Chain A
Amino acid sequence: MTNNDEDTEEEDQQKSDRKRKKLKEQFLDEAYKKAELLKKTHLEIKKEQKLVKKPFIKLGIIAIIIAIIGLALINYIPWMYIKYDSDNGTIEEYFSYRDFNNNDIENDNIKSLFESTCNNCSNNSKTYIGLTINDFTGSQRTIFNSLIVLALLGLIFTGFIIIDRFKNFSEETVNTIHSIFIASTIFIDLIVFLSTIKFLGAHLLMQLNRPFIEVLGINNINLFFFTPYIFFTSSLFLAIMGLMLIKANFNKAVQNLESDKSRKSHSIYGYRSNL
């Protein structure tokens, strides 16, 4: 063995050592990258599982609250405000629905607005503004009943959502019942809306039939129906909101139609508050 041979052997060994080191590093790098990838994907899956939560639909509770507020409004807010000039001067009065129910309107001029007190007048119409005392009592009853039905619907829907918490119904059934609930609330809102809109129509007739009203001794009449207007606007708003919600439900259903998802939901659900 010569020195040259020994040197070459040493060089070979050194080379092999270097290669081994490089290989080690490469191997570790690759393993690290793969491990990182695996770790990331695993964490992502975990996160997704955590994020999927079944919403607790609060619409029923909201409906109950609205119904309670509405029932309070009927009792505590005056139904009609009237201001007019007569021979005795300017008269300004507020009336609640109880005044109409109990026939507590003592002023004959105001009474003649809602029922004919004139013996010589024509038999064509009893009133000139399209409102009778029955309209006040009837619309009050309609609104009252509608609010109770709304509260009942809210209760039923909330009950269903609570049952769903234990029984875990499919998304399809929840969506269908949700849309049925919204549709019925829209229907109730429309009933309230249309039972109060005649109070708005009274203003138009008041302008058109002004000469007939002035004959009754009521000049420069100003009428304002507080409770009917509140219910008119709120029911319109709720009906529009209901339409938007039903549209959102529909869009959800369309998304379901677009994607080939399974019919039953397989996701793990938690619970959180959501509309």
Chain B
Amino acid sequence: MKIDIVKKTRRHIIIILILSTICLSLISVIPWVTIAEKDRLKENLHFNYEMMKSSDNAQIQDLAGKLSLINILFWAIIGVALISFIFIIYYALLRSPIFGPVMMIFSGILTFILSVLIVYFQIIFIRSINDIENLSASMIHSSVGYSFIIFIISIILLVYSAISSIRISSFSIKQLKNLPIQKKEKIKFDEKEKTKKIDKKDIKISTKKSVSEETPLTSSMPIKISEMEQWVVKNTQSTNKKTFDEKLIRTDQENEKAMKPSSIGKTYDGEVKKPENNIQSKESIAKEDERSIELFPTKKPKDKSEEIDEERPMQPFEKTIPSTIKEQTDGSESKEIEELKPELIFQTEKILLEKKGDTIKQIFNLRCPECDNIFQIDKEGDSQKAKCPKCGKEGITKKEF
């Protein structure tokens, strides 16, 4: 309703502007009066506004004065229309509850008064033409004068200004009356917004902390990981009740405890964690080796797939998958790892995920600590053994996959 009225007033203002501009240009262009010359040439001499102003005839000059008043009034209407346009924009932008409606009422009423005055002075002008001898209105045809064009346009202008002023004033008065109610609503709305903002801020703070850790993906991953773990637990509960019943009914806190080194040795976790520790120690050794080798690392050309995957941090996968799955197994895999005991550890650089139909294939990019060669291994192999294609060294992958 509010917007409709604002749009309609805009339309009315534009119409008023255009009509008054047309009237102003017509005042200068059209001939207003004719006088029958009798001195040298017996013809009708036509006068337009400019000619009337420069005429030596006092009666014509008097008429020119009235026309100039109409001219000024049209200018005033244009000014008021432009100002009211600004007021409406200002009102729509700032939604000022008092200033906007008051100014709109003022401009609407002023336009209406000005258009009434224009019509009134035009009637006076036409009457005064008829009162003067030897003077008549310039005619297009025998019955229709040029001045009627402007008169009709100014009547249309009056009607439009009346409609717009009534609409604006009624709407503005209503708004001013509803001002206390609106204020209350606004206060309520502001309070609601404040509470919403506070909630949003809390979320932002929590996410910001995680953002500061590493990457945008890892920021929200801790929350997601717990959800995923829960999802895995639920799935295993439903599928393998007999074997995993006791182990899967866990809370998140218990899972966290199990992850900590303090929980080693209490339950089955002891068997699982030990090889992890071994691997971790090997990782640290490998890292040290890498540091010693890569004192002055050189930039190598990258594949497109690598560049894409750089944006995608894969740590959460590597960290979470083994931890969650290990907890659900009997430790058979950890035994297998213990049995392998390879000399070299291939560090996982990236994990490429290829989607083939409904299945997602995983390709692991491994870095050889000996020759720094990066090579790929399919996930389907399911073996942690790996062989560098460049130097031929055998080893295991840094992380379980």
A interface vs B, CB < 8 Å?
A: 13, 16, 19-21, 23-32, 34-35, 38-39, 42, 118, 120-128, 130-132, 134-135, 171-172, 175-176, 179-180, 183, 186-187, 190, 193-194, 197-198, 200-201, 204-205, 208-209, 211-212, 215, 239, 243, 246-247, 249-250, 253-254, 256-258, 263
Total number of B residues with any Cβ neighbor in A under 8 Å: 76
* Interface secondary structure of B, over-half rule: helix
B interface vs A, CB < 8 Å?
A: 2-3, 6-7, 10, 14, 17, 21, 24-25, 28-31, 35, 37-41, 43, 45-51, 54-57, 60, 78-79, 82-83, 85-86, 88-90, 92-95, 138, 216-217, 220-221, 224, 228, 231-232, 235-236, 239-240, 243, 311-312, 316-317, 320-321, 324-325, 328-329, 332, 353, 359-360, 362, 382
Shortest 6 CB-CB distances between A and B: which pairs? Answer: A253-B92, A201-B29, A130-B50, A123-B56, A208-B46, A172-B93
In the complex, how many angstroms separate the beta carbon of A17 from the nearest chain B beta carbon?
8
Tell which of A21, A24, A122, A211 touches B39, judged by Cβ atoms closer than 8 Å: A122
A34-B41 in contact given A130-B48, A179-B89, A187-B79 (Cβ < 8 Å)? no
Provide the residues of chain A in CB contact with B320, threshold 8 Å: 31
CB closest residue in chain A, given B29: A201
Asked if A246 and B85 sit within 8 Å, CB to CB, the answer is: yes
Provide the residues of chain B in CB contact with A190, threshold 8 Å: 21, 24, 78
In the complex, how many angstroms separate the beta carbon of B38 from the nearest chain A beta carbon?
8
Tell which of A27, A120, A200, A250 touches B89, judged by Cβ atoms closer than 8 Å: A250
Asked if B17 and A243 sit within 8 Å, CB to CB, the answer is: yes
CB closest residue in chain A, given B55: A125
A246 to B13: give the CA distance in the assembly, Å: 12
Provide the residues of chain B in CB contact with A27, threshold 8 Å: 228, 231-232, 321, 324-325
A110 to B238: give the CA distance in the assembly, Å: 108
In the complex, how many angstroms separate the beta carbon of A11 from the nearest chain B beta carbon?
13
A38 to B220: give the CA distance in the assembly, Å: 8
A194 to B95: give the CA distance in the assembly, Å: 36
A189 to B55: give the CA distance in the assembly, Å: 29
Asked if B94 and A263 sit within 8 Å, CB to CB, the answer is: yes
Asked if B317 and A257 sit within 8 Å, CB to CB, the answer is: no
